[in-house]
């Protein structure tokens, strides 16, 4: 409907009612069709980020002269990200409105708590005023939640994101990862990324936000293919089971160690790190099970955190110790697997961290993944996994410490 000022008003209630009345496989497309009618758009499209991180996939496309969508293939068009407007909007999370083909193209992010799911694209006959743009931003937020809810019930959206077939081990590995790779949680922002080797190894990362703590882990199971994936499954399953019983990182490590000793072969083991950040003050409880040390960026300086490594999980029947340190507002903590460090002579992590000091963690992890792919020519012999956590303080927000981030970048 149209407001007195002529703005195209978006009725979120009507959008959600349309979604509720459609099957999950059609719900996103139905929302797009309703939105097109509300703002008199020439077309509306959902562009979803694919699993490689290098392109977006046009999953459906609604035009003014269609009664139904043309997204039946679930992957109608692949649009490369590098150097494109799509990349700018996805990475900056700022919408763009530009003239195109006698009308106006609106491109805005579809994001939930920092997780950049994709983009909403609309072609309008005239330039939208600020009120209409505001409604479209709200529609983009609604679309993110509809997409998250719908993909619990169907493989359509997962299939649409895949730019290549998965091996069995890759399928198992993906199921071990959190459903969202990014979360903005007030005092912190966390982002992870896993770049799988050609013969998939056993890397994983995971996290969970509770009322008092942020829990996170990163692991590297020995071996490759299904053997490593199954070893990782046992480890991550144990971590989650213990964590959901409010176990400390040390207790989680002890439980996983016992499970591996009982069920894995004598020559199998897993390295990993488990952390718990207390949201009230940034105190970190840290368990290192034979894993490379994390990196800390503070006041423009990057250094490995000095921690006792401990033994890998599944090696010995011994208890794991908790080590403690405190994060300060403006700190960036980086956890990586040895897929990066085996080529440390070329992958200069401190320099990359200095060069990306002002960027969002989701951009940092993508850039690190892109660097290792460039160095290896895409021929990874081991998974390369990274977890990046920015800490703003118990009452902090990312924008509130922007000055501190810029100072870090200037000093380096």
Summarize pLDDT for 153-176 with one digit per residue, the tens.
998 888 888 877 888 999 999 999
Which residues partner with 203 through β-bridges? 220
Q: At which residue do the structure tokens 């340190």 appear?
A: 325
Identify whether the C-beta of residue 226 lies closer than 8 Å to the C-beta of residue 234.
no
With beta carbons less than 8 A apart as the criterion, state whether 98 and 196 touch. Answer: no
Q: What is the pLDDT of residues 189-234, one digit of tens each?
A: 999 999 998 778 799 999 999 999 999 999 999 988 999 999 999 9
* Beta bridge partners of residue 193, listed in sequence order: 386
Q: Are strands 270-278 and 283-289 parallel, antiparallel or unpaired?
A: antiparallel
pLDDT value at 400 more than 80: no
Strands (E), 279-380: 283-289, 295-298, 301-304, 323-326, 331-336
Q: Which residue has the higher pLDDT, 76 or 316?
A: 316
Q: Does the structure show a pLDDT above 60 at 123?
A: yes
Secondary structure class of 227 (helix, strand, coil) = helix
3-state SS, residue 398: coil
Ranking 17-21, 118-122, 197-201, 218-222 by mean pLDDT, the lowest is 197-201
> Counting beta carbons within 10 angstroms of the beta carbon of residue 390, is it exposed (0 to 12), middle (13 to 18) or buried (19 or more)?
buried
Which tokens sit at 233?
Answer: 């499954």
Q: What domains does the chain contain, in order, with CATH numbers?
A: 12-159 (3.30.450.40), 165-411 (3.60.40.10)
**Mean pLDDT calculated for residue range 397-410:** 40
Q: State percent of the chain over pLDDT 70.
A: 90
Nearest-10 crossing angle of helices 130-150, 12-20 = 20
Chain centroid to Cα 294, Å, comes to: 19
Long-range contacts of 17-20 (CB under 8 A, 24+ apart): 19/146, 19/150
- What pTM did the predictor assign? 0.87
Q: Which position has the token pair 């993944």?
A: 369
């Amino acid at each position: 409907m149209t407001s007195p000022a002529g703005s195209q008003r978006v009725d979120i209630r009507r959008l959600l009612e349309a979604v509720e009345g459609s099957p999950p496989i059609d719900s996103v497309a139905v929302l797009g069709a309703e939105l097109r009618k509300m703002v008199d758009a020439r077309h509306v499209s959902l562009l979803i980020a694919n699993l490689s991180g290098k392109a977006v996939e046009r999953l459906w496309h609604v035009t003014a002269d269609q009664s139904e969508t043309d997204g039946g293939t679930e992957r109608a068009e692949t649009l490369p990200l590098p150097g494109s407007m799509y990349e700018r909007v996805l990475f900056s999370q700022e919408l763009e409105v530009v003239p195109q083909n006698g009308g106006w193209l609106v491109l805005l992010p579809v994001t939930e708590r920092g997780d950049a799911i994709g983009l909403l694209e609309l072609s309008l006959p005239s330039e939208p005023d600020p009120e209409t743009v505001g409604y479209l931003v709200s529609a983009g937020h609604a679309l993110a939640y509809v997409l998250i809810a719908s993909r619990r019930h169907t493989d359509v959206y997962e299939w649409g994101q895949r730019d290549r077939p998965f091996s069995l081990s890759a399928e198992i590995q993906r199921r071990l990862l959190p459903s969202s790779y990014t979360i903005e949680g007030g005092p912190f922002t966390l982002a992870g990324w896993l770049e799988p080797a050609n013969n998939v190894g056993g890397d994983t990362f995971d996290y969970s936000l509770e009322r008092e703590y942020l829990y996170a882990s990163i692991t590297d199971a020995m071996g490759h293919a299904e053997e490593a994936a199954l070893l990782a499954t046992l480890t991550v399953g144990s971590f989650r089971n213990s964590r959901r019983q409010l176990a400390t990182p040390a207790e989680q490590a002890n439980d996983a160690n016992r499970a591996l000793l009982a069920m894995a072969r004598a020559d199998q083991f897993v390295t990993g790190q488990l952390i718990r950040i207390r949201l009230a003050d940034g105190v970190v409880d840290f368990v290192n099970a034979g894993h490379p040390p994390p990196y800390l960026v503070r006041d423009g300086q990057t250094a490995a955190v000095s921690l006792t490594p401990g033994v890998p999980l599944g090696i010995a029947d011994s208890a794991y110790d908790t080590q403690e340190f405190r994060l300060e507002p403006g700190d960036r903590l980086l956890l990586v697997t040895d897929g990066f460090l085996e080529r440390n002579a070329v992958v200069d992590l401190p320099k990359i961290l200095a060069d990306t000091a002002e960027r969002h963690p989701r951009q940092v992890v993508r850039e690190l993944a892109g660097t290792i792919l460039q160095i290896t020519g895409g021929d990874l012999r081991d998974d390369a996994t990274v977890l990046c956590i920015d800490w703003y303080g118990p009452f902090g927000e990312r924008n509130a410490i922007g000055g501190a981030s810029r100072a870090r970048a200037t000093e380096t």
